[in-house]
Amino acid sequence: MKSLLSANSAPEQRKAGPLLAIASGKGGVGKTVIAGALASCFAARGERTLLVDGDLGMANIDVQLGLHPRGDLAGVMAGQISLAEAVSCVSGGADMAGGFDVIAGRSGSASLAGLDPAGAARLSAGIAAASMTYDRTLIDLAAGADRATIRLAAAADDVLLVISDEPTSLTDAYAFVKLLRLRDEGAAPFVLVNNATDEASAKMAYTSFSRTCESFLGFIPPLAGIVRRDVSVGKAIRQQTALNVSAPGSPAFTDIKAVAGFLAVGAETAYA
Ligand SMILES: Nc1ncnc2c1ncn2[C@@H]1O[C@H](COP(=O)(O)OP(=O)(O)O)[C@@H](O)[C@H]1O
Ligand SMILES: [Mg+2]
């Protein structure tokens, strides 16, 4: 399949679509799962979609989606290939809807982990340039709140903060938001509660998080949605297949579709 990046019209004829960063603070809460499934949902809604692995040092989108990228972000940062050459394609489901482009990272890459400020600025500019030919770009960020990660989040139009109902997830997410707002005081991330065993505890986690943000940071982060804990997610990863392909009717994918709908409408309002 031809990459959307090369198939698109000249950048000057298009306006870049919104850039959405998926963040969490804590690792293992489901950022990569959510980012991949959201990308397929935006694509199925008719948007040309790019997913960038911004997990500097522990990149794994390619592994989750069973891709064999011919190039990656580390190669771009080293000046070996162009961003266009780093693009891989994810095919859509049975009806071929939901296919999107991916720029993979490179796990353990020294050139990506521990980027200096100039390198982080170049990376951010490169992603912004790549996003010009897409209707929507998603960046799957690393866990933690290092300078390069906060910089990528601050450069995005929107941030989706993935949390779970575990206290460690809430404290790490709060630390992330606090640092993000030190860099970009207007930042107001959306919240997604993932891996929810029941609606009540997911809502309680969101309420506790939003109250802390309101008390100490002076803003209430909007809830983008709740994604249920679902065995289909682990199965899809073990099969290295996108969730929209392996389990399109699963509870988790149904919930993620609703989140994509919410974010798409929010973005249309913001970017009209
Ligand atoms: N909604 C869910 N239901 C069940 N398991 C999930 C769900 N979301 C994530 N997981 C599990 O959590 C693990 C970590 O997810 P991942 O997306 O790699 O986290 P992160 O990118 O935040 O480090 C996955 O391997 C998957 O098994
Ligand atoms: Mg990840």
Ligand nearest, relative to CA of residue 225? 1
Q: What is the pLDDT of residue 83?
A: 80
In angstroms, what is the span from residue 28 Cα to ligand 1's centroid? Answer: 6
Q: What is the pLDDT of residue 94?
A: 67
Measured distance CA(62)–CA(90) in Å, rounded = 10
At 240, which CATH number?
A: 3.40.50.300
Ligand nearest, relative to CA of residue 61? 2
Q: Is residue 10 part of a domain?
A: no
18-32, 89-103, 160-174, 192-206: segment of lowest average pLDDT: 89-103
Paired sense of beta strands 100-103 and 87-90, if any:
antiparallel
Q: In what order do the strands lie in the sheet with 19-23?
A: 87-90, 100-103, 49-54, 136-141, 19-23, 158-163, 190-196, 223-228
Q: Is residue 229 part of a domain?
A: yes
Overall domain count for the chain: 1
In angstroms, what is the span from residue 182 Cα to ligand 1's centroid? Answer: 29
Pocket test for ligand 1, best of 33, 192, 238, 254 (most atoms within 8 A of CB): 33
Paired sense of beta strands 49-54 and 100-103, if any:
parallel
Q: Is residue 9 part of a domain?
A: no
Ligand nearest, relative to CA of residue 23? 1
* Token representation of residue 217: 């940071």
Q: Is residue 12 part of a domain?
A: no
Instruction: Work out the percent of the chain whose per-residue pLDDT is above 90.
Output: 65
- The better pLDDT of the pair 245, 84 is held by 245
Q: Reply yes or no on whether the pLDDT at 169 is more than 50.
A: yes
Tell the burial category of 79 from Cβ atoms under 10 Å away from its Cβ (0-12, 13-18, 19+).
exposed
Q: Tell me the CA distances in angstroms from 96 to 83, 92, 102, 191, 232, one per residue in order.
A: 25, 4, 16, 30, 20
- The model's pTM: 0.91
Say what the alpha-carbon torsion angle 260, 10, 141, 212 is, to the nearest 10 degrees.
-60
Give all strands (DSSP E) within 91-182, no chain letters. 100-103, 136-141, 158-163
In angstroms, what is the span from residue 31 Cα to ligand 2's centroid? Answer: 5
Fill in the amino acid letter for 1: M
Q: What is the pLDDT of residue 10?
A: 44
Q: Is residue 13 part of a domain?
A: no
Q: Is residue 46 part of a domain?
A: yes
For residue 228, give the ligand 1 atom closest to its CA.
Answer: 1
Range of the domain at 132: 19-271
Q: What is the pLDDT of residue 15?
A: 64
In angstroms, what is the span from residue 13 Cα to ligand 2's centroid? Answer: 33
Residue closest via CA to ligand 1's atom 25 equals 234
Q: Is residue 3 part of a domain?
A: no
Residue closest via CA to ligand 1's atom 26 equals 234
Residue closest via CA to ligand 1's atom 3 equals 229
- Which residues approach ligand 1 with their CB closer than 6 A? 24, 27-33, 143, 194-195, 227, 229-230, 233-234, 237, 252
pLDDT band at 55, cuts 50/70/90? Answer: confident
Average of pLDDT values for 17-24?
94
Cβ 93 vs Cβ 245: under 8 Å: yes
Average of pLDDT values for 212-228?
97
Q: What is the pLDDT of residue 24?
A: 95
Note residues around ion ligand 2 (Cβ under 5 angstroms). 31-32
Q: Is residue 11 part of a domain?
A: no
In angstroms, what is the span from residue 91 Cα to ligand 2's centroid? Answer: 20
Ligand nearest, relative to CA of residue 54? 2
Tell how far CA 263 is from the center of its chain. 12
